Amino acid sequence: MNINEIKKLVKQSPKFKRVNDVLALTPVNDPFYIQKNQIEKAEWFAEVWKREEAISDWEDGLIHPRGLHYQILGKGDSFTIKIGGEDKKITYQNTEQCWNYLEMGAKYSRLLGLVPYERIKDEQNPDPIGNPIFNDHNEFEVMEMKIYDDVMNFQLPYLLYDDTESFIEARINKIIEVLFKDVSYSSRTEQPNYLEIWAEKSGVIPMSIAREFNAEVKPAGGGEFSVDMCFKAIEKAKKLDRDLHIFVLSDFDPKGMDMPKSVARKVEFIAKQLEATAFVHHVALTKEQCIKHSLPTVPAKIPKGDGTGYLTHIEIFKKFAGQDPTELNSFQAREPKIYKETIRKAIEPYFDKELGNKFREERKRLEESVREKLKVKFEELREDLDKIRKIINNRFDKLNKVLEPIIKKKYGKLELDKHIEAYEELINFEVSEIIEDERFEFPNVIVESPKNALLDTRRSYLEQLAKYKEFDMRG
Domain range summary for the chain, segments of one domain joined by +: 34-125, 164-184+357-426, 193-299+320-353
For 362-396, the pLDDT digits (tens) are 888 988 898 899 998 999 999 998 999 999 999 99
Q: What is the pLDDT of residue 426?
A: 72
Distance of CA 102 to the CA centre of its chain: 28
Q: What is the pLDDT of residue 146?
A: 56
Q: ∠ at Cα 384 (380, 389), nearest 5°?
A: 130
Q: What is the pLDDT of residue 144?
A: 59
Given a contact cutoff of 8 angstroms between Cβ atoms, the answer to whether 103 and 65 are in contact is yes
For 283-325, the pLDDT digits (tens) are 999 889 999 999 988 765 665 554 555 566 667 777 777 777 8
Burial of 323 (0-12, 13-18, 19+ CB in 10 A): middle
Cβ neighbours of residue 323 closer than 8 Å, sequence gap 6 or more? 290, 297
Q: How far apart are CA 341 and CA 330, in angstroms?
A: 15
Of 456, 440, 438, nearest to 448 (Cα)?
Answer: 456
> Rounded to a whole number, what is the distance in angstroms from the first to the last CA of the chain?
23
Q: What are phi and psi of 283, to 5 degrees?
A: -95, -45
Given a contact cutoff of 8 angstroms between Cβ atoms, the answer to whether 152 and 354 are in contact is no
Would the pTM of this model clear 0.85, i.e. be above it?
Answer: no
Q: What is the pLDDT of residue 435?
A: 65
**CATH top class, domain 193-299+320-353:** alpha beta
Q: ∠ at Cα 32 (29, 38), nearest 5°?
A: 55
Given a contact cutoff of 8 angstroms between Cβ atoms, the answer to whether 109 and 46 are in contact is yes
Given a contact cutoff of 8 angstroms between Cβ atoms, the answer to whether 252 and 202 are in contact is no
Given a contact cutoff of 8 angstroms between Cβ atoms, the answer to whether 430 and 422 are in contact is no
Q: What is the pLDDT of residue 122?
A: 64
**DSSP notation for 336-387:** HHHHHHHHHHHHGGGS-TTHHHHHHHHHHHHHHHHHHHHHHHHHHHHHHHHH
Q: How far apart are CA 238 and CA 194, in angstroms?
A: 9
Q: Which segments in the chain show pLDDT lower than 50?
A: 126, 128-130, 306
Q: How far apart are CA 2 and CA 457, in angstroms?
A: 16
Query: What's at 61, amino acid-wise?
Result: G
Give counts: helices (H), strands (E), the chain: 16, 6
Q: Distances from the Cα of 41 to the Cαs of 65, 79, 447, in angstroms?
A: 13, 8, 43
Q: How far apart are CA 245 and CA 333, in angstroms?
A: 26
Exposure string for 233-262, b = 16+ CB within 10 A, e = fewer: bbeebbeeebebbbbbbbbbbbbbbebbeb
